[in-house]
Amino acid sequence: MNHGEPAGCCAPVETTAPISVTVNPEARVNVARTRARLGPMSVGDWHTVDVTIVNDGYVTGPLAIEAEPVPGVELDLPVHQLTGEHRQDGMFRVRFGVPTAADITLTFRALGALGGLATHSTIHLLLRSDTRALA
């Protein structure tokens, strides 16, 4: 039974981005990994990580990405402007200063709110750099 929900509601997000963010009408955020893989990351280069934003609430305003500092890792976490469109593309960038593996915790917040319920607005990424850029 459909119960009046739009087609595709609550189904997994079809995307080539490794991260999907869903914003509900109350501006609560749910972030998840998708099946898309992250490519190799070399030391010294900026690497873009794509994010698909599904705006089920047609919310407008800022979507911020926050993270605690991680030694040896630089993060470029731009604030994305939610336009009210149902689907938008987003991204952030990562650069490693040394060969390492790092557990990066990202929290997504819409409209400066506390985020989703429990830890739904937070994701842990285990990223690893290699030495190809040092050669």
State which amino acid sits at residue 16. T
Per-residue pLDDT at 113 = 62
**Residue range 32-71, pLDDT digits in tens:** 999 998 888 999 999 999 999 999 999 999 999 999 999 9
Is residue 8 domain-resident?
A: no
Is residue 122 domain-resident?
A: yes
Tokens of 25: 């009408």
DSSP 45: S
Is residue 82 domain-resident?
A: yes
**What is the span of the domain harbouring residue 87?**
19-134
How many domains is the chain built from?
1
Sheet holding 122-130, edge to edge: 41-42, 122-130, 101-110, 60-67, 80-83
Is residue 13 domain-resident?
A: no
Domain at 86, CATH number: 2.60.40.10
pLDDT surpasses 60 at 5: no
Half-sphere exposure of 71 (CA within 13 A, CB side): 1
Is residue 29 domain-resident?
A: yes
DSSP H/E element including 127: strand 122-130
Is residue 4 domain-resident?
A: no
Is residue 14 domain-resident?
A: no
Cβ atoms of 36 and 17 within 8 Å: the answer is yes
Per-residue pLDDT at 115 = 46
Is residue 5 domain-resident?
A: no
